[in-house]
Amino acid sequence: MKSTYRDDFKIEGYHFGSGEKTACIVGPMRGDEVQQQYICSQIVRELQAIEAKGGIADGKSILVIPSCNPSSMNVGRRFWAMDGTDINRMFPGYDKGETTQRIAAAVFKSLEGFKYGMQLASFYVPGEFVPHIRMLRTGYEDIKSAELFGMPYVTTREPLPFDTTLLNYNWQIWNTSAFSVYAGQTDSIDVEDSRLATEAVLRFLSGIGAIDYSLTIPGYESLTLNEENLVTLTAHHAGIYVRKRKAGDMVKAGEVLATILHPYDGHVLEEIRCEQDGIVFFSHHRPLVLQNALLYKVVV
């Protein structure tokens, strides 16, 4: 697509192997998904090495789209810079519609017919997750296949009306087994979590017989959770947030996970505790919190 003042807008894809449309991997749709960008680059690098060794299975093809929105990442904007719309809220897209609807339509068309789809996604609430695979419960979710990633957790949740325009939702409706891969961070790079996510995608591709790959990190036996069953801890006060526990940490019942301090005199306004033993699944990570902000989600 031509731009008036900038270079042409391009979405590039890397094809590996040939034959059946086996799996596609989609990178950032938002300009701040730097962790996802890094992971995609590592997946492409690994697949290039695997292909060079003849490791792509005969009759199987893999497509990687490392970025659906280079234009926003180049200018440090999360959404489409011209009008603030979110490409990941435009699926399945409309090729005669608005710009981001057209981008979504073009991306969706290129992904059509793949058996498995993986999206490196981010969450709208600021924070970090335990790496996991997330799916919407549309009736088409493929939990069995999700376990092939060997991620610590597989989660499912009921779609809201707002979710019906997500890539993940539309993939499922159009017969692609869809997985959102959450790799901890969004706007910064965590090399360890990135490696875990890269290995998980390669492990999945190996598990479905698309590649021949010797794994370097052992996978997990995934625990499948309904997100509605996670224990949610919210802030009763706004203030300065001092985090003691982060995603992946084990916590004991009654333990203080974080404190909220008065921003002027520093006294403790609130101690955030979990009433049960568990593992931190999500942790808010910005230094200031609003009242009622989501701080933790804990697997108990």
Partner 1 sequence: MIKTIVNTELPLAERLLVRKNVISHGNGKKRFCIVTGTHGDELEGQMVCYEMARLVQQNIDKLDGTVEIYPSLNPLGIDTIQRGIPNFDLDMNRIFPGSEHGTMAEQTAFRICEDLKGADMVLDIHSSNLYLRESPQVRINVLNEKELVPMAEHLGVDFIWVHDAATVLEATLAHSLNSTGTPCLVVEMGVGQRINHGMCNHLVEGIFNLMKEMGMWTGDVKEMQSGIVCKGDHVEFLNAECSGVFLTELRTGINVTKGQSIGQIVNALTGEILSDVKSPVDGFLFTIRAYPIVYEGSLMARIYHA
What is the contact surface with partner 1 in residues (CB under 8 A)?
1-4, 9, 78-79, 82-84, 86, 89, 96-102, 124-126, 160-162, 164-165, 232, 234, 237-240, 263-264, 288-294
Kindly state the smallest distance separating residue 118's Cβ from partner 1, in Å.
Answer: 22
- The pairing of beta strand 14-17 with beta strand 20-26: unpaired
Kindly state the smallest distance separating residue 70's Cβ from partner 1, in Å.
Answer: 14
Nearer to partner 1, 106 or 217 (CB): 106
| CB distance 280 to 258 below 8 Å | no
Kindly state the smallest distance separating residue 185's Cβ from partner 1, in Å.
Answer: 16
Residue 264 is classified by DSSP as: T
Kindly state the smallest distance separating residue 260's Cβ from partner 1, in Å.
Answer: 9
| CB distance 69 to 28 below 8 Å | yes
Closest C-alpha to 138, from 114, 160, 112, 107 = 160
Nearer to partner 1, 80 or 213 (CB): 80
Kindly state the smallest distance separating residue 286's Cβ from partner 1, in Å.
Answer: 8
| CB distance 220 to 152 below 8 Å | yes
Nearer to partner 1, 199 or 270 (CB): 270
Nearer to partner 1, 146 or 166 (CB): 166
Say if residue 254 is exposed, middle or buried (CB neighbours under 10 Å; 0-12, 13-18, 19+).
Answer: exposed
Cα dihedral 41→46→47→53 (10° resolution): 150
Nearer to partner 1, 53 or 124 (CB): 124
